[in-house]
Structure 1
Amino acid sequence: MSFFLRWLFAFLLLAATYNPTDWNYVRGAQAYWGQTPSVVTLVGLLLLAGYVIYLRATFRSIGPGGVIFVLALFGALLWVASDFGLISISDPGLATWVAILAGSLVLGIGMSWSIIRRAISGQVDTDDVEE
C-alpha cells in the first residue's frame, strides 16, 4: 500500500502541474497571472517543494542510471503494447497521460526503492548522517 500512495502522490503532482485538460497549474498560471500573481506564485512554490522532495529522494535512491532504466523499461512496455495493437499513442492527449504515468512511476519507484530493496534482499539502506 505504501508504494501505491507514493506513486499516487507523484501522479497527482505531475498531473497538477500539466495535463491535457484545462485543470492544471500551467494553464491556470497563464490565465490568472494578471489577476492573482501571488496565488500563482504560492501554488508554483508548493509544486516545486513536491518536486524537490520527490526528485531528491529518487536520485539518491536509484540515481540517474536507475531513472533511465525505469524509463527504458516503461518505454519497452509501451512499444510492445503498441506492436500488439493494445494502445495507440498517436493521440497527443493520450501521449501526455502516458508520459505523466511514466514519470510518476519513476518517482514512485524512487521514493519506494529502499522499502522494495529491503523486502527483496533483507538489506537496510541508510542515509549519510553528518555529525
Structure 2
Amino acid sequence: MAFLIRWLIAFVLLAATWNPTPLNYLRWAAGHWETDLPLTVLGGLILVVGYVIYLRATLRSIGPIGMALVAAVFGALLWVLVDRGLLQIGNSALNQWLGILLSSLVLGIGLSWSILRRRISGQVDIDDVDEE
C-alpha cells in the first residue's frame, strides 16, 4: 500500500505539471502568468519542491543507472506490447499518458526501493539505521 501511495503522488505530480489535456500547470501558467504572477510562481514552486523530493530520493536510492535500468525495462515492456499488437502507437494522447505513467512508476520505485530492498533481502541501508 505504501508503494501505491508513493506512486500515486508521483503520478499526480507529473500529470499536474503537464498532460495532454488543457488541465495542467504549464498550460495554465502560460495563459495566466501576466495576470496572476504570484499564484503562478507559488504553483511552480510547489511543483519544484515535489520534484526535488522525488528526484533526490530516487537518485539516492537507485541512482542514475538504476533509473535508466527501470526506464529501460518499461521501454522494453512497451516495445513488446506494440510488437504483439496490444498497444497502438498512433494515439498521441495515449502515448503521452503512458509516458507520464511510466515516469511516475520510475519515481515511485525509486522512492520505495530502500523499503522494498530491506523487506526482500533483510539488508538495511545506512540511512535506515535510525528507524530501528
Question: TM-score normalised to the size of structure 2?
Answer: 0.94
Equivalent residue number for residue 66 of structure 1? 66
Partner of 2:14: 14
Distance 1:110 1:128 in 2: 15
In the alignment, what sits opposite 1:78? 78
How big is the shift at 1:128?
Answer: 9.4
Aligned to 2:5, what secondary structure does the other structure show? Answer: helix
User: Which residues of 2 match residues 1-131 of structure 1 at below 5 A?
Assistant: 1-127=1-127
For residue 11 of structure 2, give the secondary structure of its aligned residue in structure 1. helix
Aligned-partner residue type, residue 28 of structure 1: W
The Cα offsets for residues 37-95 of structure 1, whole Å up to 9 and x where unpaired, read as 11000000000000000000000000000000000000000000111111112222111
Instruction: Quickly say closer, same or farther: Cα 1:15–1:67, change in 2 above 3 A.
Output: same
Q: Distance in 1 between matches of 2:23 and 2:85?
A: 30
CA RMSD, aligned part only? Answer: 1.3
**Aligned-partner residue type, residue 18 of structure 2:** Y
Structure 2: gaps of 5 or more residues: none
**Structure 1: any 5+ residue segments left out of the alignment?**
none
Distance in 1 (CA, whole Å) between partners of 2:126 and 2:116 is 14
In structure 2, distance between residues paired with 1:89 and 1:61: 32
- 1:126, distance to aligned residue in structure 2 (A): 2.3
Give the secondary structure class of the aligned counterpart of 1:127.
helix
